[in-house]
Amino acid sequence: MKIFKYIACICFISLLCYSCIDELDIDTETAQNLLVVEGGITTAFGPHEILLSKSAKYGSILEDDIKKETNATVFLRNQNGDQEFLEEGSDGSYYTSPNFAAKVGDAYSLIITLANGERYISTKQTIEPVPEIDSLILIWKKQPSLSDIQFASGVEVYAQWKDPEDVKNYYQWKTGGVYKINTRPDLHVGRGFGGNPFPDPKDCCETCYIYETNGDLNIYKDNLSNGNTITEKVGYVEDDGGRFMEKYLVIVQQVSLSKEAFQFYELLQNQLSIQGDIFDPPPAKITSNFINLDNPNEDIIGFFTASDIKIDSVFIDNDIIEERQPVRQVLDDCRVLDNSTVDIPPFWN
């Protein structure tokens, strides 16, 4: 979901790319707050999250901050008129019930009414089936480097599956993982007056489990491989000196996309790949599948997706690592690390 945070920047930068050589001193009287919609639903049980916000204003200059949209009415509607109302959670977050799961073949729209009365609706997204992952293949990879001492490395994750024949399939992969890390709270160093260090050992905790997600945009279409057994790279787990202290559980979600959703993500992917050279794709407007019912010409950021999902996972044992990175030293309570817990995951052993 975090990839949508880049879209507002892309939309603004694309406007700047058409500037002239001579400076124009224009006073822009109107500034825009664009609605940003993040999230979607799948055939897995919920809760499914939708995040609503308004982008920072931009006109002649950037103004304000990104603001979460609270007190909105948000609900799903399928082709039969069945509705699922989302409950507001933390600022700007709205959730389906935990027992809600979308159905393959159904078409869903997301309807939003903001607190100020503005009304939005997405185009219908029909859920296409996605095949099961047959296997996950792990390959240790040493990245090219000019040094034999310092180098980057990690484990590439490939999914293998049988693509359905005579059907146009569009795929997206989302990956995450869990790993165990050991730290040294007994060697924690405090800072005294003037920033002077002094021994400040902590009683807890030295062993934690870290949960993480990969925000990379990874999509694929089967136009050149329809009906074949496909092996595709779906993730990469970097060895940072901490992830492979024991073992790493990599989790792969293989989800279906509609043709419109794939085209949206493909355009977004092209814009994110811009490096600033002559081979870059031209700036392009990224079109949402939402419309303001009262102002159809309003620009909106984001795309509501409805997907089938298949999940597979595999432990990466550290014996696959041919050359280990230096062990990551954390001289503190392991609970200070992001997304950490001392609770052993039920699946770990």
Report pLDDT digits (tens) over 151-194. Answer: 999 999 999 999 999 899 999 999 999 999 999 999 999 998 88
- Residue 347: inside a domain: no
CB-CB contact of 272 with 343 (8 Å): no
The whole domain housing 288 covers 2-341
- Using the predicted structure, report yes or no on whether residue 207 has a pLDDT greater than 80: yes
Is residue 165 exposed (0-12), middle (13-18) or buried (19+ Cβ within 10 Å)?
Answer: exposed
Percent helix, percent strand, percent coil in the chain, to nearest 5? 10, 40, 50
pLDDT band with cut points at 50, 70 and 90 for residue 28: very low
Q: Dump pLDDT digits (tens) for 55-67.
A: 866 554 445 567 8
Select from 221, 222, 183, 188 the least CA-distant residue to 202. 188
| Mean residue pLDDT across the chain | 87
Question: Which string of DSSP letters, residue by residue, matches 41-62?
Answer: EESS-S--EEEEEEPPEESSSE
- Residue 348: inside a domain: no
What's the pLDDT at 275? 63
- Residue 123: inside a domain: yes
Strands (E), 239-279: 247-256
- Using the predicted structure, report yes or no on whether residue 277 has a pLDDT greater than 80: no
Q: Which residue has the higher pLDDT, 334 or 22?
A: 334
- Residue 139: inside a domain: yes
How much of the chain, in percent, has pLDDT values that exceed 70?
A: 85
What's the pLDDT at 108? 98
- Residue 349: inside a domain: no
Residue type, 179: Y
* Mean pLDDT, residues 93-117: 97
* Mean pLDDT, residues 84-90: 95
CB-CB contact of 218 with 232 (8 Å): no
- Residue 169: inside a domain: yes
* Mean pLDDT, residues 121-125: 97
What's the pLDDT at 273? 66
CB-CB contact of 38 with 3 (8 Å): no
- Residue 346: inside a domain: no
Q: Dump pLDDT digits (tens) for 216-229.
A: 899 999 999 999 99
- Residue 99: inside a domain: yes
CB-CB contact of 143 with 153 (8 Å): yes
Domain count, the chain: 1
CB-CB contact of 223 with 293 (8 Å): no
